[in-house]
Amino acid sequence: MKFVVLSLALLAAAPLSLAESPEVPALIDAQWLASKGVDSVVPVDLQAPKQFQRFHIPGSVNLPYAIWRTSLPKGNKDPSTLRSMLPPVDRLTSMIGGAGIGNDDHVLIVATGQGAGDLAAAARVYWTFKVLGHDAVSVLDGGLVAYADAGGKLTADVTRRAAKTFTADLRPEFAPDAADVRTALDGGALGVDARSEGEFVGIYTGDSDERPGTIPGAKRLPHDWIAAEGSGRMRSAGALEQLFAARGIDPSAEQVHFCHSGNRAALTWFAAYAILGNEDATLYDGSMMEWAQTEDLPVTAEIELCDAC
């Protein structure tokens, strides 16, 4: 599960488009934004529409987090049908382009910033752009909360951007399926479980049809440990390295990050890939929602409760 990167020779041989520029950091703060100017980015606000209409960064487009993931078709109550997955590529490119975002735009993912869950949502959308081959994407550290606390201007005025064409350069290696994950794990990759301890040890599951427990050999790194002091801000790289090491995870080793449906694990993956620079870390979109409902895939539970006892 190696990532495709441009060689230094290729980078030197041709001028870089913005989407290839190494000058685009994965994580930016309010001070960076103030120094560069809001007009230097296209803020993509993940709030629900009613909240967006109350306040947002000037120039933002509103693409609520829910539309970045699939939902069950109306009337489908089959628990084995996967939901909350990466939408079809054509739907994503149409949505992004329709919002006025093109391949040369620097996209800034903006969540509210109220905690680790918001930070995980921003990391998940960051991952989506990476899957689509768009590297000019950043996450606003601390979201709107940190931006406002730093004196950033908020507005209720809605900006309408002219539609653009957004073309995907799909990177399937960023979105492995169950078979890819099994191959990687069999080859020595380490599973990183971002869920709660109860889910990890097998006390409860995300869906009734899931087998309880985790992927054999996985290490648990709770997603909320990644956020600093319960906020929507990332911990420092040094602190993240300590956390990974404390959980028995080599920060530079090949890793498969998972949770129930690829939301919480987006944050631990973002820490490994974007902050610690581990290009051999990947996010498993289907996570335990898919893995634990596939009978030929192994699951282990530390605690096996007997409900009939």
In whole angstroms, how far apart are CA 75 and each of 78, 79, 144?
9, 12, 36
Q: What is the pLDDT of residue 43?
A: 98
Between CA 140 and CA 110 the distance in angstroms is: 6
Each as own residue / partner, the long-range contacts of residues 181-189 (CB below 8 Å, 24 or more positions apart, any chain) are: 181/256, 181/258, 181/284, 181/291, 182/297, 184/1, 184/254, 184/256, 184/282, 185/215, 185/217, 185/256, 187/254, 188/254, 189/1, 189/253, 189/254, 189/255, 189/256, 189/280
pLDDT of residue 206: 78
List per-residue pLDDT tens for the chain, 309 residues long: 433 332 323 223 333 333 344 579 999 999 999 899 999 999 999 999 999 999 999 999 999 999 999 875 555 555 556 767 899 999 999 999 999 999 999 999 999 999 999 999 999 999 999 999 999 999 999 999 999 999 999 999 998 999 999 999 999 999 999 999 999 999 999 999 999 999 999 998 877 778 999 999 999 999 999 999 989 999 999 999 999 999 999 999 999 999 999 999 999 999 999 999 999 999 999 999 999 989 999 999 999 887 777
Task: Give the architecture (CATH level 2) of 18-149.
Answer: 3-Layer(aba) Sandwich (3.40)
The reply to whether domains 18-149 and 176-291 share a CATH topology is yes
Note the pLDDT tens digit of each residue in 139-158. Answer: 999 999 999 999 999 999 99
Question: What distance in Å separates the CA atoms of residue 294 and residue 79, rounded to the nearest whole number?
Answer: 12
- Are 43 and 57 a contacting pair, CB within 8 Å? yes
The yes or no reply on domain 176-291 and CATH 3.40.50.300 is no
Burial 54-73 (b: 16+ CB within 10 A, else e): ebbbebbbbbebeebbeeee
Helix then strand then coil, in percent of the chain rounded to 5, is 35, 10, 55
List the end-to-end C-alpha distance of the chain, in Å, as a whole number: 44
Q: Where are the beta strands (DSSP E) in the chain?
A: 27-28, 42-45, 61-62, 107-110, 137-140, 190-193, 219-220, 255-258, 281-283
Domain spans of the chain? 18-149, 176-291
Query: Is residue 139 helix, strand or coil?
Result: strand
Single-letter code of the amino acid located at 199? E
Alpha-carbon gap, residue 241 to 145, rounded angstroms: 26
Predicted local confidence at residue 78, as pLDDT: 54
Closest CA to 178 of 168, 191, 169, 167: 191
d(CA 202, CA 299): 10
> What's residue 266's pLDDT?
98
**Whether the Cβ atoms of residue 107 and residue 138 lie closer than 8 Å to each other:** yes
Amino acid 71: pLDDT: 73
